[in-house]
Structure 1
Amino acid sequence: MTHASTLTSSAVAERDAGTRVRSWRPLAAALGLFVAARLSGAVVLAATAWATGRQPLALLGRSWDSLWYLGIAAHGYGRTLHFQPGVVHSDLAFFPLYPALVRAVTAVSPLGGGAAGLLVSWLAAAAAACGMYALGARLHGRAVATALVLLWGLLPHSVVLSMAYTEPVLTAFAAWALWAVLDGRWLWAGALAAAAGLARPNGFAVAVAVLAAAAHELWRGRVEAREVSHSLWTGAALAPLGWGAYVLWVGHREGDLLGGYFAVQRRWGSRFDFGHGSLRFVRHLLLHGDRFVFPMTMVIVAVYVLLYALLLADRAPLPLLVYSGVLLLVALGGSGFFESKPRFLLPAFPLLLPPARALVRTARARPRHATVVVGALAGLSFAYGAYLVVIAHTPL
């Protein structure tokens, strides 16, 4: 090889390396904004906790459902609490992926359960932010993708993303599964959907989105008289396996293969009643009022409904509409734990695409207005998050 060709090869390698670095910078910037938002919220929460004589890490790592997940990670399934006739809380209501990840971290590191749970959640939140950035950039460009990630980190309930909860894990698998569907990577989409189904009860929304996209692709293939790849069939077959396997396992353990898991949920007071219980509670709020967290929940859920209407008006891709629609349907149609509905909707990040696009337009036309909007959202997120975890004493 001549000296000139060596120099040319070196120049090409340096150019390619520089291109890769530049392509990663927007993602790094978006992830940095997300981390900064969550760290700022954690600082406000820590200050509030210390002011009330409480420990912030204990609140983040060992609150409400976190204790159930950590118990499963440490001892496996088998814990049941009896309260009154018909009210029995069993840990079989909690899906296995998150406690399995926590147990794996504790097995290979010196971390205890609470710290391991926080590590899993924080890493999953970062992976979710990267996935939604990739999805947003594919659909609307890097600026909208960055705004999408930032808005997700500034939701009123985004404090949950800093806690030992399962929403970050579900969102990470969902974001990358939806990206894989749009990119035609059906095997990846199916495998990621199966993992999402092992993360949370509403994780089946990812499988429904993959199946809907696959059905649409099959219909298009039939109309256009073209062959559909085998990977699509395989991905579609994989998608529901995680959720279905756990539901059937619980049913087998309870002695009712198809209905056992849903019986466990009913004993927790959670059932799908097409929104009857939610409407009854909203009526109670309007007539009699209640603690601050409940009217805030009603307002937040109403905003999510409006955002879904905007997503429909924007003619978003079918998988995003199906995924967000199923999550919204489960949250609205399920009874029990009214105050937890905004948390159940945290994984519905496609609903933030319309406001992300609006924020980018505002930032280009009136930068100061965009700064005020982001500052107001940050103030609400940080203050309300600290209130929920430290002061409200209400299950998240």
Structure 2
Amino acid sequence: MTDLETRVAPPRAPLPRRAVVALLGYAGVRALGLAVLFAWSAARGKSGFTLLTARWDALWYARVAELGYGYEVRLPNGDVHSNLAFFPLLPWLERLLHALTPLSYGGAGFAVSLAASFAAAAGIYAVAELVHGSRVGVCAVLLWAVLPVGIVQSMAYSESLFTALAAWSLYAVLTGRWVSAGALAALAGLTRPVGVAVVAAVWTAGVLSFGRERGAKRTPGALLPSYAPRWRRALGMLLAPLGAAGYVLWVGHRTGAGPLGYLDVQAGWRNGFDGGHAFARFVADKFTSFPSALAGLGLIAGVALLVWLYVICVRDRQPVELL
């Protein structure tokens, strides 16, 4: 046996240390974006901090944090905008931080979002590094940082909080930490409606793990795959939907509209799922004049690019929970 064969591989650095480059790059990109926002705001006599903490959805979250649910606005066309549309985890954290610090509810939301954005960047790096290596991890974080709508990552919105919970839930699934994955998925389900996608990822991975394990046991001479104990996988799957299901059912009970009452709340905001019909109509409307037709072509190209990337991910046999 040679020295090369007996040499022990050097231990890997802890994940936080491996993610330093990605996090520094993320901080640099977001700092540049905030600097541009504050300079633009100052040139127009506006407050950049107000734009981040007291505009649009940030106001709705702050109102929930301060006064709870039950506020609604009735529009002249009959639509009803209810704050029940906004999931509760961010307002809960805003209320907690406001109680512990001198921050306003909006300021607390900004602080939560800022901290969560770095947690999200670290989670994105962790998942990408695990699947494809460190370079891909850094690139994934930087791509997320430079998104055209990336400014919401620094606003008192729920996007950063949700992304952090989703990324770390997926990482927990990929590394066999099923109870953590389920708990994080439950929290993601308390953050945004799209949290059900995280729940679906946990359930899909769990069902496949049970199926593969059963198939291996039925195959003579097959090596049994290494999975976490069944009870941990089952517990993670049971925990995952509790957040989203709990809030949606509570809204239905509060409104008196039954289990699907949350859909009525969303309908008041003109939100819902129609199979892409509204989006297709929106794109088609862009072709009514020449300047807007360019935007329509850009949207079509963007959708085609997403489909192409998804096909590549399937061909590369990405972990199913990432698909």
Q: TM-score of the superposition, structure 1-length normalised?
A: 0.72
Letter in 2 for 1:63: R
Which of residues 301, 314, 317 is equivalent to 1:315?
A: 317
Structure 1 residue 137, shift from structure 2 partner: 1.4
SS at match of 1:272: coil
Aligned-partner Cα distance in 2 for 1:142–1:53 = 43
Structure 1 residue 29, shift from structure 2 partner: 1.7
Task: Give 1 or 2: higher helix fraction.
Answer: 1
Letter in 2 for 1:209: A
1:270 aligns with 2:282: no
Aligned to 1:258: 259
SS at match of 1:81: strand
Aligned-partner Cα distance in 2 for 1:290–1:258 = 45
Letter in 2 for 1:314: D
Aligned-partner Cα distance in 1 for 2:293–2:100 = 42
1:60–1:164 CA contact under 8 A, matched in 2: yes
Runs of 5+ unmatched residues, structure 1: 1-17, 322-396
1:192 aligns with 2:192: no
2:65–2:95 CA contact under 8 A, matched in 1: yes
Aligned to 1:33: 25
Letter in 2 for 1:308: Y
Deviations 1:192-247 (A, max 9, x none): 10000000011111000000000111110110126952101111111111000000
2:283–2:299 CA contact under 8 A, matched in 1: no
1:249–1:257 CA contact under 8 A, matched in 2: no
2:169–2:180 CA contact under 8 A, matched in 1: yes
Which of residues 204, 207, 210 is equivalent to 2:202?
A: 210
Aligned-partner Cα distance in 1 for 2:81–2:152 = 22
Structure 1 residue 309, shift from structure 2 partner: 2.9
1:129 aligns with 2:129: no
Letter in 1 for 2:126: A
Deviations 1:266-318 (A, max 9, x none): 11111111111111111111224787997566665554344323322322110
Letter in 1 for 2:315: A
Aligned-partner Cα distance in 1 for 2:85–2:15 = 42
Cα distance change of structure 1 residues 260 and 83 upon mapping to structure 2, 3 Å threshold:
same
Structure 1 residue 20, shift from structure 2 partner: 7.6
Aligned to 1:279: 280
Percent identity over paired residues: 44
Structure 1 residue 110, shift from structure 2 partner: 0.7
Cα distance change of structure 1 residues 254 and 142 upon mapping to structure 2, 3 Å threshold:
same
* Correspondences of 1:107-118 after superposition (within 5 Å): 107-118=99-110
Aligned-partner Cα distance in 2 for 1:85–1:76 = 26
Aligned to 2:42: 50
Cα distance change of structure 1 residues 23 and 80 upon mapping to structure 2, 3 Å threshold:
closer
Aligned-partner Cα distance in 2 for 1:292–1:196 = 37
Which of residues 174, 187, 193 is equivalent to 1:201?
A: 193
Corresponding pairs, count:
304
1:249 aligns with 2:250: yes
| Structure 1, 138-147 or 212-221: larger mean CA deviation | 138-147
Cα distance change of structure 1 residues 294 and 45 upon mapping to structure 2, 3 Å threshold:
farther
Cα distance change of structure 1 residues 247 and 319 upon mapping to structure 2, 3 Å threshold:
same
Deviations 1:305-338 (A, max 9, x none): 44323322322110000xxxxxxxxxxxxxxxxx
Which of residues 296, 304, 311 is equivalent to 2:306?
A: 304
Aligned to 1:68: 60
Aligned-partner Cα distance in 2 for 1:224–1:272 = 39
Which of residues 87, 90, 97 is equivalent to 2:79?
A: 87
Aligned-partner Cα distance in 1 for 2:90–2:281 = 33
Cα distance change of structure 1 residues 75 and 24 upon mapping to structure 2, 3 Å threshold:
closer
2:286–2:292 CA contact under 8 A, matched in 1: no
RCO greater where, 1 or 2, for CA within 8 Å and sep 6 or more? 1
CA RMSD of aligned residues (A): 2.3
Cα distance change of structure 1 residues 199 and 24 upon mapping to structure 2, 3 Å threshold:
closer
Aligned-partner Cα distance in 2 for 1:41–1:303 = 25
Aligned-partner Cα distance in 2 for 1:304–1:166 = 24
Structure 1 residue 44, shift from structure 2 partner: 1.0
Deviations 1:97-140 (A, max 9, x none): 01101111001001111211110001001001111111111111
Aligned-partner Cα distance in 1 for 2:240–2:76 = 38
Structure 1 residue 155, shift from structure 2 partner: 1.1
2:129–2:135 CA contact under 8 A, matched in 1: yes
Aligned-partner Cα distance in 2 for 1:291–1:88 = 31
Aligned to 1:235: 236
1:62–1:114 CA contact under 8 A, matched in 2: yes
Cα distance change of structure 1 residues 26 and 305 upon mapping to structure 2, 3 Å threshold:
same
